[in-house]
Amino acid sequence: MHTLDDIKDLLQSCENEDDFARLQARALETTLQHVGPEIHFRGLIEFSNVCSRDCFYCGIRKSNKKIQRYSLSQEEIVELAKWSAQEGYGSIALQSGERCDPVFVDFVIEVLRQIKSETRSELLPDGLGITLCVGEQTKETYQRFFDAGAHRYLLRIETTSPSLFAQIHPTEQHLHTRLRSLEFLKEIGYQVGTGVMIGLPGQTYEDLARDVLFFRDIDIDMIGMGPYLSHHDTPMSRYAEENNRNRLLIFRKSLAMIAATRIVCPKINIAATTALQTIDPAGRIDGLRFGANVLMPQTTPPGFRRNYLLYEGKPGLDENALETRLNLERQIESIGRYVSKNKWGDSLRFHEKHPQSPDSPSGK
């Protein structure tokens, strides 16, 4: 059993070349042993940037009046989903700003239903696997989303440090609400994902080590995490200079977080996120070398991407979805891994916990 100090040591190895290389080798070995060389793609559909929250770090927070708000139509989203299925992705991730109004909730339910019914095929008898990422909702809403066909849900805790959480959110947002949401999701039967931002102002190695222990203690199924990157139209832009100055270290810390998480939770799915690629063009591939096994290539049409800027410098704004995929596949093959096709690519940890799960998917 890893202690807080063990994990802190793993993380701190990002400050020394030899230790960092050893950490990478160990994380990769653990990955290959427990989840294998396969990489799972999820077609990422950022279907709306309308948001009712005001998180201090986020570029699509409701108080940012400088961005143009958009919402894709049901037809547009379903088309992107079908495209993902044709490309062999097996799974998609639907993400948007947070809204809890009935119009939004009903819309998401309709979209889920239509995607499930229109993507069934011989290759995918249960349709596309769907990960939903639309923030904090009531248990009833989570249940309705689940019943409509979402089977994985991603809700980042952002940080498990109560003081840091309070520092980066308005007073009406609470750490305990997120924790309760994660519990609801688990009770309903979702494969549950969470994650944190790395390199927040004032965040210590001990904070990050506690985050990793938290992932283990709640027996999480999936992780999506990456560097915190400042956005100029947010209250946290006052830390922009510090954030820019430390980018290389924050990048290495993020890779160390992926590695430590893989070592502590060997059978979960871990995503190499776009934010990594923002700092270094090869960042997501580095994420895979340090223990990630999931990638979420963007399918959001280029015209909308520039309005879904959670942070500055988001890459691939003009690339089309096919180029994105081909680029990634080439890079993945160059590191001796390969991309799974027409599979949901579920968390092995989840199925280990629920071996007799009646709704264990056929296309997992």
Q: Is 363 helix (H, G, I), strand (E, B) or coil?
A: coil
* Site residue total, ligand SAH (CB under 6 A): 18
Nearer to ligand SAH, 279 or 332 (CB): 279
Determine if 310 is a binding residue for ligand SAH (CB under 6 A): yes
Characterize 121-131 residue by residue with b for buried, 16 or more Cβ atoms within 10 angstroms of its Cβ, and e for exposed: eeebebbbbbb
Determine if 155 is a binding residue for ligand SAH (CB under 6 A): yes
Determine if 41 is a binding residue for ligand SAH (CB under 6 A): no
* Among 36-44, 103-111, 155-163, 280-288, the segment contacting ligand SAH (CB under 6 A): 155-163
Contacts of 78 (CB under 8 A, 6+ apart): 111, 114, 115, 118
Q: In terms of Cα–Cα distance, which of 328, 293, 211 is closest to 40?
A: 293
Determine if 157 is a binding residue for ligand SAH (CB under 6 A): no
C-alpha–C-alpha distance, residues 209 and 1, integer Å: 14
Six token digits for residue 78: 């379903």
Six token digits for residue 38: 């396969």
Nearer to ligand SAH, 55 or 264 (CB): 55
* From 47, 56, 57, 145, residue interacting with ligand SAH (rule: CB under 6 A): 57
* Among 14-22, 75-83, 153-161, 332-340, the segment contacting ligand SAH (CB under 6 A): 153-161
Determine if 158 is a binding residue for ligand SAH (CB under 6 A): yes
Q: In terms of Cα–Cα distance, which of 189, 43, 51, 47 is closest to 130?
A: 43
Determine if 112 is a binding residue for ligand SAH (CB under 6 A): no
Query: Are the C-beta atoms of 328 and 315 separated by less than 8 Å?
Result: no
Nearer to ligand SAH, 154 or 348 (CB): 154
Nearer to ligand SAH, 200 or 332 (CB): 200
* From 231, 262, 284, 349, residue interacting with ligand SAH (rule: CB under 6 A): 231
Q: Is 124 helix (H, G, I), strand (E, B) or coil?
A: coil
Nearer to ligand SAH, 21 or 317 (CB): 317
Identity of the residue numbered 304: F
Determine if 294 is a binding residue for ligand SAH (CB under 6 A): no
- Largest interatomic CA distance in the chain: 54
C-alpha–C-alpha distance, residues 268 and 271, integer Å: 10
Residues that bind ligand SAH (CB under 6 A): 57-58, 95, 97-98, 133-135, 155-156, 158, 197, 228-229, 231, 275, 310-311
